[in-house]
Structure 1
């Protein structure tokens, strides 16, 4: 129980776009969300449709819960949200999303890519400005019970994140 309490206390949150550390342990070990046989090949459009499903359902944030819909069952935190959007076999953590993605130049960000830090992950939707410094993202943020949001990040916030691309994304 102490581990669950620690995980909940260290939940990834960007409600105020402030860094919060993740627990070193993978919460997926404690939370038995469903899995699929293999990571999906996912188009950029599919990733946006899948991510919109949680916005529409107002899925509440929690590192101790799963949400199941037509796209599978995933942990309802930031990395679980990106895992669901990409169609991964299971909910990854901010530390393990890199295992299925590659770092890309910021200028190459496209819808369905992600912005990642050790404490948070968000799905890239589009640029809000011509200078490509302020991304619009979709993210599952805390505190517990808060629904996912789509919002514009400041250039300063975005600069703290590494752009990554899912290894099985297609342009279709």
Structure 2
């Protein structure tokens, strides 16, 4: 695993459990961002638009902050970023994303799917190679203050992650056919 990805994984480790902020009176409280009534049906092209919004806005990474834009109010860490891209009711953690998604074969990844490790999550954008081994992903990693990025992962890095598909994804036929690029 290259050093840059290792730093990303370590930075997102705390999202294994929901981020917490110490209350003045002692007990820890979850950082709460606004919620919606239901997880939305989100098209693959919408996941791209939604995730691009945080890249364009250079939303700073934090496990204890929320960001609100036209797409909602979500925690600004890796799983909050994926929750926003998918249009979930609230910011999930890396350990609860599987509750709204299904594992898929790695070779079947399409734009808007995810690659999730027990302590980091990234949005799949496309394959960088025809062999479908090196994904291009969008991810929100630390350290604090860094904006989300789009980058190519090595096959070795990708193989450490579980491919997931959001249960309420709506297929875009043109987008699904252009998954390599």
Q: Structure 2-normalised TM-score?
A: 0.84
Aligned partner of 1:27 in structure 2 is: 19
| Greater alpha carbon shift after TM alignment, 21-30 vs 59-68 | 21-30
Distance in 2, matches of 1:15 and 1:83, equals 26
Report the Cα distance in structure 2 between the residues aligned to 1:136 and 1:147, rounded to whole angstroms.
17
For residue 5 of structure 2, what is the aligned residue in structure 1? 17
Question: Which residue does the alignment assign to 1:39?
Answer: 39
Q: Counterpart in 1 of 2:103?
A: 103
CA RMSD of aligned residues (A): 1.5
Q: Which runs of 4+ in 1 moved over 2 A?
A: 19-25
1:170: Cα distance to partner?
Answer: 0.7
Relative distance call for 1:23 and 1:163 in structure 2 (3 A) is closer
The structure-2 alpha-carbon separation of the partners of 1:105 and 1:56, relative to structure 1 and needing over 3 Å to count, comes to same
Q: CA deviation at 1:39?
A: 0.0
Counterpart CA distance in 2 for 1:15 and 1:43 is: 33
Superposed CA offset, 1:49-105 (max 9, x none): 000000000000000100000000000000000000000000000000000000000
> What pairs with 1:1-172 in structure 2 (closer than 5 Å)?
16-18=4-6, 19-20=9-10, 21-22=13-14, 25-27=17-19, 30-172=30-172
- With structure 1 as the length reference, what TM-score do the two structures score? 0.89
CA distance in 2, matches of 1:112, 1:41: 12
Tell me how many residue pairs correspond in the alignment. Answer: 159
27-36 or 62-71, which deviates more: 27-36
